[in-house]
């Protein structure tokens, strides 16, 4: 059964630093999606990024921020899917706070 090995964690980041939100699974998946919603308000989560899992294992959906921006602040969740079995699995939301240096 598909499950998460690593999930995104609550984190405090600084603008212009590099960061990775971890998301790995115990078996191969077809697609990675990252959901985001702002820290305040009751906004529905939005799919911000979609991409295939990283080769060669196809189990890694981690999201790389080469340069953190203030707009990256919010709640993030990783959603993985397997098309053939119609499987969809989403991590709990992690709270990401961004500070100016």
pLDDT tens readout for residues 40-59: 988 999 999 999 999 889 99
42: Cβ contacts below 8 Å, ≥ 6 apart: none
What total number of domains does the chain contain? 1
Question: Considering the domain boundaries, does residue 85 fall inside one?
Answer: yes
Name the maximum alpha-carbon separation found in the chain: 45
CA-to-CA dists, residue 14 to 50, 64, 98, angstroms = 24, 14, 5
Whether residue 100 is contained in a domain is answered as no
Using one digit for the tens of pLDDT, what is the confidence trace for 65-101?
A: 999 999 999 999 999 999 999 999 999 999 999 999 8
For the entire predicted model, the pTM comes to 0.94
Residues spanned by the domain of 34: 4-95
Give dist(CA 97, CA 77) in Å, integer: 14
CA-to-CA distance for 2 and 87, rounded, in angstroms?
Answer: 8
CATH number, residue 75 = 2.60.40.10
């Amino acid at each position: 059964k598909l499950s998460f090995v690593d999930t995104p964690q609550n984190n405090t980041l600084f603008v212009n630093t590099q960061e990775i939100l971890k998301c790995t699974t115990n078996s191969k998946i077809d697609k990675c999606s990252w959901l985001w919603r702002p820290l305040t308000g009751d906004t529905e989560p939005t799919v911000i990024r979609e991409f295939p899992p990283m080769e060669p294992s196809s189990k890694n959906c981690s999201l790389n921020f080469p340069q953190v921006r203030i707009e990256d602040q919010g709640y993030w969740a990783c959603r993985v899917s397997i098309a053939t079995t119609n499987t969809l699995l989403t991590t709990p939301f992690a709270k990401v706070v961004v500070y100016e240096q």
